[in-house]
Amino acid sequence: MITNLLPIGSLLSSAFLMLMAGGLAGYLLPLRAVAEGWSTLSVSLMATSYAIGFTTGCVLTPRLVLRVGHVRVFAVLATLMSVSVLLHALIVHPLAWIAIRAVAGFSIAGGYMVIESWLNERVTNETRGSVFSVYMTISMLGLMMGQFAVPLGDAAGPTLFIVGALLYSLAVIPTGISSAQSPQPLSQVTLDIRKLFRNSPASVVGAVLAGAIASAWSNLGPVYSQQSGLSTAEGATMLAAAMIGGAVFQIPLGRFSDRTDRRYVMIFAGLVGLVLSLAAVLVGVDSRWAFFLTMFLLGSVLFPIYSLNVAHANDHAEPNAFVEVSSGLLIIYGFGTMIGPLVTGAAMDAFGPWALFATIATAFGLYSAYAFYRTTKRAKPADEARSEFRAIPIGKGQTPQTVELDPRVDATPDDVIQERPAA
């Protein structure tokens, strides 16, 4: 394992620093917005702006790399990441932050894509699974460490913003001095919504709802924590508890879906999310341990439902269409990340912080209901045609290059049959 990781150690180091900076900024900015007295809807607009920038970055970065190369693009994007964090400290105004978050989303998506394309170039079919697992772990640890760095400083001061900018700048060094040759051009994103919907309506609708849920949680969860009286450290614990829950339960949930109609598992996950979200409203934060346990259990379905969508869509797709289908779903998921914060933020402004879980519960209910509806319209695919479930990095924004890293990329139809667990 170690020998497989040594050649890509510098790339993983850059990814870790980027993710740590992203976790810090993603938690810090909502806290500062609350401290400034801005509305929850303002934070939602920042989240939507970031999602638009991120999705645009996934589409345009491959073209930039074709023109000037991986190293230059990564250096420019890392500079934009650093500048965007510093600008938040220099220009403290909601309209400015909305615009700055779009730049941040664009540059971060591009940075992920360049690093992941390098990783994809250095792995083999035999090492792809282990490297992907390590990358998932690094993603989660980097994000959590960034979030837990916020309580060490003052959200009202400039220090944490400077630290975030430094982390983004430091991320250039490991990749910049790496001896790895530049990889092949990045994958171009193709999106045919009609084809995706014909292939798997449940996956398309589910991807939108999964994006709305995840984005509402990650962007407005910090707002909820502040408005509900949690300390900064307790807010970071809340976010981490859900992330750990997703990491713990993603594989068991996926393996269960390999053995039955995946839509039944989608129905189950949606109902669990609905019940736990409503439980969070009832439990509140008065009992910290009960609340954190609820967040851990909610994370068990909050993050993994997107992986279920990808697996279900590929059950109905041609074996060689994995990248096309998964990349298309990724953009659909991006649309959901734009919508979720807007609806949730407006609800929180109107009804209070508890509306975060009420809107998430509604989305989970729709997710479950539509999956049930689809079971009445089409039978599950034949066992021999189904793909194997694979976990997807928790909490991190997905890009088309993340899809390329997935071990299913190299699976042949025979591999799918041989790897399937017994029904």
Taking the C-alpha atoms of residue 29 and residue 40, their distance in angstroms, rounded to an integer, is 12
CATH placement of domain 10-178: 1.20.1250.20
Fold of 189-394+405-423: Growth Hormone; Chain: A; (1.20.1250)
Taking the C-alpha atoms of residue 386 and residue 383, their distance in angstroms, rounded to an integer, is 6
Question: Encoding tokens for residue 286?
Answer: 């008065």
What confidence score (pLDDT) does residue 409 get?
Answer: 66
What confidence score (pLDDT) does residue 200 get?
Answer: 87
Nearest one of 402, 326, 397, 310 to 55, comparing CA atoms: 397
CATH 1.20.1250.20 residue ranges of the chain are 10-178, 189-394+405-423
Identity at 419, one-letter amino acid code: E
CB neighbour class for 20 (10 Å; exposed up to 12, middle 13-18, buried from 19): buried
Taking the C-alpha atoms of residue 205 and residue 146, their distance in angstroms, rounded to an integer, is 32
pTM of the complete model: 0.89
Cβ 182 vs Cβ 309: under 8 Å? no
Query: Would you say how long the chain is, in residues?
Result: 423
What confidence score (pLDDT) does residue 175 get?
Answer: 72
Nearest one of 80, 129, 76 to 100, comparing CA atoms: 80
Cβ 207 vs Cβ 329: under 8 Å? yes
What does R_g of the chain's alpha carbons equal in angstroms?
Answer: 20
Identity at 107, one-letter amino acid code: S
CB neighbour class for 285 (10 Å; exposed up to 12, middle 13-18, buried from 19): middle
3-state secondary structure the chain: CHHHHHHHHHHHHHHHHHHHHHHHHHHHHHHHHHHCCCCHHHHHHHHHHHHHHHHHHHHHHHHHHHHHCHHHHHHHHHHHHHHHHHHHHHCCCHHHHHHHHHHHHHHHHHHHHHHHHHHHHHCCCCCHHHHHHHHHHHHHHHHHHHHHHHHHCCCCCCHHHHHHHHHHHHCHHHHHCCCCCCCCCCCCCCCCHHHHHHHCHHHHHHHHHHHHHHHHHHHHHHHHHHHCCCCHHHHHHHHHHHHHHHHHHHHHHHHHHHCCCHHHHHHHHHHHHHHHHHHHHHHCCCCHHHHHHHHHHHHHHHCHHHHHHHHHHHHCCCHHHHHHHHHHHHHHHHHHHHHHHHHHHHHHHHHCCCHHHHHHHHHHHHHHHHHHHHHCCCCCCCHHHCCCCCCCCCCCCCCHHHHHHCHHHHCCHHHHHHHCCCC
Cβ 118 vs Cβ 184: under 8 Å? no
Cβ 200 vs Cβ 312: under 8 Å? yes
CB atoms within 10 A of CB 397: 27
- pLDDT tens, per residue, the chain with 423 residues: 566 566 577 888 888 999 999 999 999 999 999 999 999 999 999 999 999 999 999 888 888 888 887 788 888 999 999 999 999 999 999 999 999 999 999 999 988 888 888 777 777 767 767 777 888 888 899 999 999 999 999 999 999 999 999 999 998 888 766 655 556 666 666 667 888 888 889 999 999 999 999 999 999 999 999 999 999 999 999 999 999 999 899 889 888 888 888 999 999 999 999 999 999 999 999 999 999 999 999 999 998 899 899 888 888 777 677 777 888 888 899 999 999 999 999 999 999 999 999 999 999 999 999 999 999 988 877 666 677 777 777 777 777 777 777 766 665 444 443 343 333
